[in-house]
Amino acid sequence: MSLECGAHAMLGLAFETGVAFFLILTFQVCKGPPQHEEICLGLFTLVLTEPAQAQKCYRDLALVSRDGMNIVLNKINQILMEKYLKLQDTCRTQLVWLVRELVKSGVLGADGVCMTFMKQIAGGDVTAKNIWLAESVLDILTEQREWVLKSSILIAMAVYTYLRLIVDHHGTAQLQALRQKEVDFCISLLRERFMECLMIGRDLVRLLQNVARIPEFELLWKDIIHNPQALSPQFTGILQLLQSRTSRKFLACRLTPDMETKLLFMTSRVRFGQQKRYQDWFQRQYLSTPDSQSLRCDLIRYICGVVHPSNEVLSSDILPRWAIIGWLLTTCTSNVAASNAKLALFYDWLFFSPDKDSIMNIEPAILVMHHSMKPHPAITATLLDFMCRIIPNFYPPLEGHVRQGVFSSLNHIVEKRVLAHLAPLFDNPKLDKELRAMLREKFPEFCSSPSPPVEVKIEEPVSMEMDNHMSDKDESCYDNAEAAFSDDEEDLNSKGKKREFRFHPIKETVVEEPVDITPYLDQLDESLRDKVLQLQKGSDTEAQCEVMQEIVDQVLEEDFDSEQLSVLASCLQELFKAHFRGEVLPEEITEDGHKAHATPEAPWESLPNLCQMQEDNSSFSLLLDLLSELYQKQPKIGYHLLYYLRASKAAAGKMNLYESFAQATQLGDLHTCLMMDMKACQEDDVRLLCHLTPSIYTEFPDETLRSGELLNMIVAVIDSAQLQELVCHVMMGNLVMFRKDSVLNILIQSLDWETFEQYCAWQLFLAHNIPLETIIPILQHLKYKEHPEALSCLLLQLRREKPSEEMVKMVLSRPCHPDDQFTTSILRHWCMKHDELLAEHIKSLLIKNNSLPRKRQSLRSSSSKLAQLTLEQILEHLDNLRLNLTNTKQNFFSQTPILQALQHVQASCDEAHKMKFSDLFSLAEEYEDSSTKPPKSRRKAALSSPRSRKNATQPPNAEEESGSSSASEEEDTKPKPTKRKRKGSSAVGSDSD
Amino acid sequence: MNGVNDPPLFIKDIKPGLKNLNVVFIVLEIGRVTKTKDGHEVRSCKVADKTGSITISVWDEIGSLIQPGDIIRLTRGYASMWKGCLTLYTGRGGELQKIGEFCMVYSEVPNFSEPNPDYRGQQNKG
Which residues in chain A have their CB less than 8 angstroms from residue B102's CB? 261-262, 265, 278, 281-282
Closest-CA residue of chain B to A271: B105
pLDDT band at A682 (very low <50, low <70, confident <90, very high): confident
| Greater pLDDT, A873 or A697 | A697
- The answer to whether the Cβ–Cβ distance between B102 and A277 falls below 8 Å is no
Share of chain A above pLDDT 70, in %: 76
pLDDT digits (tens, 9 = 90+) for B11-61: 999 999 999 999 999 999 998 889 999 989 999 999 999 999 999 999 988
Pairs of CB atoms within 8 A across A/B: 22
Best B101, B102, B105, B106 residue to mutate vs chain A (most A CBs within 10 Å)? B102
Helix (H) or strand (E) holding B76: strand B70-82
Answer yes or no: are the C-beta atoms of A446 and A422 closer than 8 Å.
yes
| The one-letter amino acid at B1 | M
Residue B81, in any domain of the structure: yes
**The pLDDT of residue B68 is above 90:** yes
What end-to-end distance do the CA atoms of chain A give, in Å?
A: 86
DSSP character at residue A17 = G
- Partner-chain residue, chosen from B68, B101, B105, that has the shortest CB–CB distance to A270: B105
- Interior/surface letters A759-779, b for 16+ CB within 10 angstroms, e for the rest: bbbbbbbbbbeeeeebbbebb
Which residues in chain B have Cβ-Cβ distances shorter than 8 Å to A261?
A: 102-103
Mean pLDDT of A56-79: 90
ipTM higher than the 0.95 cut: no
Chain B hits for A277, CB-CB cut-off 8 Å, are: 28, 68-69
**According to the model, what pLDDT value does residue A851 have?**
56
> Among A527-541, A809-823, A851-865, where is mean pLDDT lowest?
A851-865
Contact between B68 and A281 using a beta-carbon 8 Å cutoff: yes
The predicted pLDDT at position A187 comes to 97
Nearest chain B residue to A270, by CA: B105
Q: Which pairs from A235-239 meet CB under 8 Å and 24+ separation? A: A235/A194, A235/A195, A235/A198, A238/A205, A238/A395, A238/A398, A239/A351, A239/A398, A239/A401
State pTM to two decimals. 0.54
pLDDT class of A358 with cuts at 50, 70, 90: very high
pLDDT value of position A703: 85
Question: Which of A273-277, A626-630, B65-69 has the least mean pLDDT?
Answer: A626-630
pLDDT digits (tens, 9 = 90+) for A434-457: 999 999 999 988 887 554 433 433
How high is the pLDDT of residue A659?
Answer: 85
Mean pLDDT calculated for residue range A603-632: 67
Q: What is the mean pLDDT of residues A763-776?
A: 90
The mean per-residue pLDDT over the stretch A678-696 comes to 88
pLDDT of A970 higher than 50: no
What are the backbone angles phi and psi of residue A148, rounded to the nearest 5°?
-55, -40
**Chain-centre distance for alpha carbon A260:** 22
Q: Give the mean model confidence (pLDDT) for residues A730-751.
A: 90
What length is written for chain A?
993
Q: Residue A857 pLDDT > 70, yes or no?
A: no
Position A327 pLDDT exceeds 60: yes
Q: Is residue A953 a contact partner of residue A987, using CB atoms and an 8 Å limit? A: yes
Query: What is d(CA A39, CA A666) in angstroms, rounded to the nearest whole number?
Result: 59
Residues A404, A402: Cα–Cα separation, whole Å? 5
Burial class (CB in 10 A: 0-12, 13-18, 19+), A748: middle
Which of A382-396, A674-688, A865-879 has the largest mean confidence? A382-396
Give me the half-sphere count of Cα atoms (radius 13 Å) on the Cβ side of residue A853. Answer: 1
Report pLDDT digits (tens) over A905-923: 887 777 778 888 888 888 8
**Which pLDDT value is given to residue A237?**
92
| 3-state class (DSSP) for residue B95 | strand
Q: A278, A288, A482, A567: which to substitute to probe chain B, counting the most B Cβ within 10 Å?
A: A278
Residue B123 is assigned to a structural domain of this protein: no
Using CB atoms, pick whichever of B28, B101, B103 lies closest to residue A277.
B28
Q: Looking at beta carbons, which residues of chain A come within 8 Å of B28?
A: 277
Distance from CA of B10 to the nearest CA of A (A): 19
- B1–A contact, CB cutoff 8 A: no
Residue of B nearest to A264 (CA): B103
For A141-197, write each residue's pLDDT tens digit. 999 999 999 999 999 999 999 999 999 999 899 999 999 999 999 999 999 999 999
From the candidates B105, B107, B111, B113, which should be mutated to test the interface with A, based on the most A CB atoms within 10 A? Answer: B105
* Residue B92 domain flag: yes
Q: What's the pLDDT score for residue A702?
A: 86
CA–CA gap between residue A328 and residue A368 (Å, rounded): 11
Residue A513: other Cβ atoms inside 10 A: 7
Torsion over CA: A731, A733, A737, A741 (sign): positive
Phi-psi region for residue A18, left (φ > 0), alpha (ψ -120 to 50) or beta?
left
- Identify the sign of the CA torsion B8, B11, B13, B15: positive
With a CB-CB cutoff of 8 Å, which residues 42-101 of chain B face chain A?
Answer: 68-69, 101
- Amino acid A36: pLDDT: 85
Average pLDDT over residues A219-231: 93
Of A270, A274, A281, the CB nearest to B69: A281
Question: What pLDDT is attached to residue A464?
Answer: 35
Which residues in chain A are contacts of B32 at CB distance < 8 A? Answer: none
Cβ of B105 within 8 Å of Cβ of A262? The answer is: no
Q: What is the mean pLDDT of residues A276-292?
A: 93
CATH no. for residue B77? 2.40.50.140
Residue of B nearest to A522 (CA): B115
pLDDT at position A205 over 80? yes
Chain A contact set for B105 (CB, 8 A): 269-271
Report residue A929's pLDDT band, with 50, 70 and 90 as the boundaries. Answer: very low
Instruction: State how far residue B19 is from chain A, nearest Cα, in angstroms.
Output: 30
**Of A822 and A585, more confident:** A822
Cβ neighbours of A796 (radius 10 Å)? 12
When pLDDT is averaged across residues A619-640 and rounded to a whole number, the result is: 80
Is the predicted pLDDT of residue A16 greater than 70, yes or no? no
Are A281 and B28 in contact (CB < 8 Å)?
no
pLDDT on residue A334: 83
Please answer whether residues B30 and B43 qualify as being in contact, where contact means their C-beta atoms are separated by less than 8 angstroms: yes
Indicate which of B98, B103, B108, B112 best probes the interface with A, i.e. most A CBs within 10 Å of its own CB. Answer: B103
Indicate the number of domains in chain B. Answer: 1
Q: How far is Cα A812 from Cα A875, in angstroms, rounded to an integer? A: 9
- Tell me the pLDDT tens digit for each residue of B72-111: 999 999 999 988 899 999 988 899 999 999 999 999 989 9
For B83, the domain range is 11-102
Give helix A670-684 / helix A637-647 axis angle, nearest 10°. 90
The answer to whether residue A942 scores a pLDDT higher than 90 is no
What is the pLDDT at residue A405? Answer: 95
Residue B35 in domain: yes
Highest mean pLDDT among A351-365, A523-537, A677-691: A351-365
Nearest to A517, CA basis, from A504, A502, A506, A531: A531
Return the residue of B nearest to A82 by Cα. B100
Give the least confident one: A52-61, A164-173, A434-443, A659-668: A659-668
Residues contacting residue A815 through CB under 8 Å, at least 6 positions apart: A863, A866, A873
Encode A579-629 in three state secondary structure. Answer: HHCCCCCCCCCCCCCCCCCCCCCHHHHHHHHHHHCCCCCHHHHHHHHHHHH
B103–A281 C-beta distance less than 8 A: no
Could you tell me if A262 and B102 are in contact, meaning their C-beta atoms sit under 8 angstroms apart? yes
Residue ranges per structural domain of chain A:
13-248, 253-423, 515-705
Strand B85-101 and strand B70-82: the pairing is antiparallel
pLDDT at position A86: 92
Q: Do B68 and A261 touch (CB under 8 A)?
A: no
pLDDT at A55 over 80: yes
Q: Does B103 touch chain A (CB under 8 A)?
A: yes
- Give residue A18's pLDDT: 52
Mutate to test the interface with B, among A260, A264, A274, A277 (most CBs of B within 10 A): A277
Average pLDDT over every residue of A390-417: 93
Contacts of B101 in chain A (CB under 8 A): 281
pLDDT at A499: 35
Roughly what angle, to the nearest 10 degrees, separates helices A321-330 and A335-346? 160
- At residue A427, the pLDDT reads 87
Share of chain A above pLDDT 90, in %: 38
Chain A residues bordering chain B (beta-carbon distance below 8 Å): 261-262, 265, 269-271, 274, 277-278, 280-282
Q: Which residue of A has its CA nearest to B50?
A: A270
Residues of B in contact with A563 (CB under 8 A): none
Q: With 50 as the cut, is the pLDDT of residue A504 above it?
A: no
Yes or no, beta carbons of B102 and A265 under 8 Å apart: yes
What pLDDT shows up at residue A8? 53
**What are the beta bridge partners of residue B44?**
B57
pLDDT (tens digit per residue) in A569-581: 777 777 777 666 6
Distance CA A707, CA A679 (A): 13
